[in-house]
DNA sequence: CAAAATACGTAACATACGATACAGCGCTCC
DNA sequence: GGAGCGCTGTATCGTATGTTACGTATTTTG
């Protein structure tokens, strides 16, 4: 049963030649707006020629382009009249994907429910005050999150370092850390021994630790000044770091806002360096 | 302050002559669909003549009919991109949580709404079939996502490589790529020249490209076999990659499920290696 | 009540839009 | 490696669309 044109497309997109597939993808990307424009605009957006667009709609089973547009408009009309039914109710998608998404969304709500605005503001403030250096590090699967956060923070303020590579390398960086510095650690199950040892040593040197972990709390929590506990359970073989990722983005945004004045100047300076 | 065209109309409907008022009313009645149709259809629906419609849109301040339609489409685009689902479930979040989170949740729902189960299943199947090698690479801020995905995929199957470091390094890896291989690219605004060039060359070598991008589609979409367009807009100075992150996790889960038998054995082997 | 002004529709016009024919190119399959 | 097929873009064509001019109807005002 094919109800919407979007389904029709994703059903046949596999059998389409390259050019028409581009058309399909650009249409899906911001559905259904591109389809309401003229053939010329559609083709320009997709980077193909007009005839390809027409062949595309022909393959979908429409006699001509206006007929295709009418179908899109009808669909849009039905959709606008019942706005509530449009926002993804769990039953409509049905497939194996939906439970994963639902669980992830729940995780985020839960994570933020246990996270007060004040707590986030405090952490952001600590990251924004430029007394010392900021170091970031993560575990096997969470190190990309540390990288992601470092990439953003490094733009709006100086002295941001992501600790990468072999353990011996970042262990030696301990020598540079002191009580004015901040260490952001990502560590979820199964907690890594090496990270715990590293955190302990940093803690003894007076470094303030901000820990991103799961709801069962990494042993590093003992040494941490701030602990962010995210929900990670999803119906999959793996744990999900998505909630922690969103917290990280939220913090990045908050820090950016606090450093607005200084940060804006810094960004301009960076731009001029290219 | 007049924001939407609907407001503009209801603001001036009092000063309009009878015919144009009928036009206004029929447009408001099922807004904005009637305005997207042709002048002839609009006039028929309103029971007036074509020139009356044109005089109507002229009175609203538009130079010509196409300009009026474009304005309607822009409005519709903005509306579709940020669904007002906030009003739907204020209960679940419990009140004044950061607008950042709400926007992120919306982005995810929207992203998955434009993403069919079949599409995801196709991509997962392509990643699971072990004919060739799998390469992953990302842009300035999205490379951590590539890393994250690579870290997981590399555990359940062989020949998974994350392309890191300087451009010249991964450019040389092109020599190892062929038509049996898959290249996963993350690229959101502002799109990186180097990535586009790399994608183009890989494409010419017959490599199948799976692209993670934003709703405005990186130019790499021209070469991509599969395109995943995620929503990135959040109330922050930065774009959000969270939706793409969740799609990545979903794919990781799907691939893992498909490789369950082979993957489980591989994981056991890995365990015994420690 | 008359006269003017405004509003509206009919009909002709020009533009630009969608459709089609054709040629070049790349790809696949012997 | 060569022949065949299928896909894609360029150029051209017919037409539907938006636009305008003009005449008639309707309302408004002195």
Q: Does A175 touch chain B (CB under 8 A)?
A: no
| pLDDT of B26 | 84
Token pair, residue B46, equals 């309103």
Q: Split chain A (274 residues) into runs of 10 and give each run's mean pLDDT.
A: 77 86 89 91 92 93 92 84 45 58 93 87 91 94 97 93 90 91 94 93 93 92 90 92 97 90 69 71
Report d(CA B202, CA B15) in Å as an integer. Answer: 61
CB contact under 8 A, B151 and A140: yes
CA distance B274 to B269: 9
Name the residue ranges covered by the structural domains of chain A: 5-87, 97-273
Q: Is B253's Cβ below 8 Å from some Cβ in A?
A: yes
Size of interface A-B (CB pairs under 8 A): 191
Q: Residue B93: its chain A contacts at CB < 8 A?
A: 109, 112-113
Residues A205, A178 contacting (CB under 8 angstroms): yes
Where do we find the tokens 């209801």? Answer: B10
Minimum mean pLDDT range among B93-97, B176-180, B243-247: B93-97
Chain B partners within 8 Å of A85 (Cβ): none
Cis check: omega of the bond before A122, within 30 degrees of 0: no
Helix, strand, coil percent values for chain A (each to nearest 5): 60, 10, 30
Rounded-to-integer distance, Cα A63 and Cα A76, Å: 20
The answer to whether the C-beta of A211 is closer than 7 A to strand C is no
The closest CB to that of B108, out of A101, A141, A151, belongs to: A101
Give the pLDDT of residue B5: 84
Q: What's the N-to-C CA distance of chain B in angstroms?
A: 67
Which A residues between 11 and 40 have a beta carbon under 7 A from any strand C atom? 38-40
Cβ(A256)–Cβ(B236) below 8 Å: yes
Q: Is the pLDDT of residue B97 over 80?
A: no
Pick the CATH number of A5-87 from 1.10.10.10, 1.10.260.40, 3.40.50.720, 1.10.3720.10: 1.10.10.10
pLDDT at B141 over 90: yes
- In the block, which residue shows the tokens 């470094």? A207
Confidence at residue B22, expressed as pLDDT on a 0 to 100 scale: 82
| Mean pLDDT in residue range B158-177 | 90
Query: Stretch B139-146: mean pLDDT, rounded?
Result: 96
pLDDT at residue B81 greater than cutoff 70: no
Identify nearest nucleotide to residue B67 by CA to C1′ distance: D18
- The whole-number average pLDDT for the span B98-120 is 88
Find, in chain B, the residue whose alpha carbon is nearest to that of A238.
Answer: B253
Is residue A90's beta carbon less than 7 angstroms from any atom in nucleic acid strand D? no
Of the given ranges (A106-110, A211-215, B93-97, B267-271), which has the lowest mean pLDDT? B93-97
Task: Give every CB contact of residue B197 below 8 A, 6+ residues apart in sequence.
Answer: none
- Helices of type H across A16-64: 18-29, 33-36, 39-46, 50-59
Please name the member of B113, B224, B238 whose beta carbon is closest to the beta carbon of A88. B113
Task: Check CB contact under 8 Å for A252 and B238.
Answer: yes
Work out the widest C-alpha separation in chain A, in whole angstroms: 74
Q: What is the CATH number of domain B5-81?
A: 1.10.10.10
CATH number 3.30.230.10 given to B100-273? no
Residue A77 and residue B144: Cβ atoms within 8 Å?
A: no
Q: Does B224 touch chain A (CB under 8 A)?
A: yes
Angle between helices A242-258 and A117-128 (to 10 degrees): 60
Q: Choose among A220, A228, A227: nearest CA to A202.
A: A220
**Comparing A210 with B8, which gets the higher pLDDT?**
A210
Task: Find the Å distance, CA of residue B179 to C1' of nucleotide C29.
Answer: 17
pLDDT over 60 at B32, yes or no: yes
If one compares B265 and B224, the residue with the highest pLDDT of the two is B224
* CATH architecture group of domain A97-273: 3-Layer(aba) Sandwich (3.40)
**Rounded Cα distance, B34 and B30, in Å:** 7
Q: For B149-163, what is each residue's pLDDT tens digit?
A: 999 999 998 999 999
Buried b (16+ CB within 10 A) or exposed e, A150-178: bbbbbbbbeebbbbeeeeeebeeebeebe
Distance of A20 CA from D8 C1′ (whole Å): 10
**Using the 8-state DSSP alphabet, how is residue A158 labeled?**
S
Q: Residue A187 in contact with residue A212, Cβ under 8 Å?
A: yes
* Cα of B236 to nearest chain A Cα, Å: 6
pLDDT at A79: 75
Distance, in angstroms, between A221 CA and closest chain B CA?
23
Tally of CB atoms within 10 A around A127 = 24
What angle do the packed helices A143-156 and A260-273 form, to 10 degrees? 90
- Residue in the structure block whose two tokens are 């993804």: A88
């Amino acid at each position: 049963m094919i109800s919407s044109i979007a389904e029709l497309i994703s059903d046949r997109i596999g059998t389409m030649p390259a050019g028409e597939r581009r058309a399909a993808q650009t249409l899906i990307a911001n559905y259904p707006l591109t389809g309401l424009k003229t053939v010329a605009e559609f083709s320009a957006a997709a980077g193909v020629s007009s005839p390809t667009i027409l062949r595309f709609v022909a393959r979908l089973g429409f006699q001509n382009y206006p007929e295709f547009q009418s179908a899109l408009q009808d669909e849009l009309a039905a959709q606008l009249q019942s706005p509530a039914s449009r926002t993804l109710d769990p039953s409509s998608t049905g497939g194996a994907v939906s439970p994963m998404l639902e669980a992830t969304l729940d995780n985020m709500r839960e994570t933020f429910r246990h996270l007060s605005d004040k707590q986030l503001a405090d952490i952001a403030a600590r990251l924004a005050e430029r007394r010392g250096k900021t170091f970031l590090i993560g575990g096997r699967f969470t190190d990309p999150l540390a990288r992601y956060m470092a990439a953003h923070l490094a733009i709006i303020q100086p002295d941001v370092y992501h600790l990468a590579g072999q353990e011996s390398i970042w262990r030696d960086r301990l020598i540079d850390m002191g009580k004015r510095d901040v260490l952001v650690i990502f560590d979820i199950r199964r907690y890594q021994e090496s990270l715990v040892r590293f955190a302990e040593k940093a803690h003894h040197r007076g470094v303030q630790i901000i820990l991103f972990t799961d709801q069962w709390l990494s042993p590093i929590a003992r040494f941490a000044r701030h602990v962010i506990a995210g929900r990670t359970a999803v119906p999959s073989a793996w744990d999900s770091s998505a909630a922690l990722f969103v917290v990280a983005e939220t913090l990045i945004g908050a820090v950016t806002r606090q450093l607005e004045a200084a940060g804006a100047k810094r960004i301009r300076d960076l731009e001029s360096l290219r």
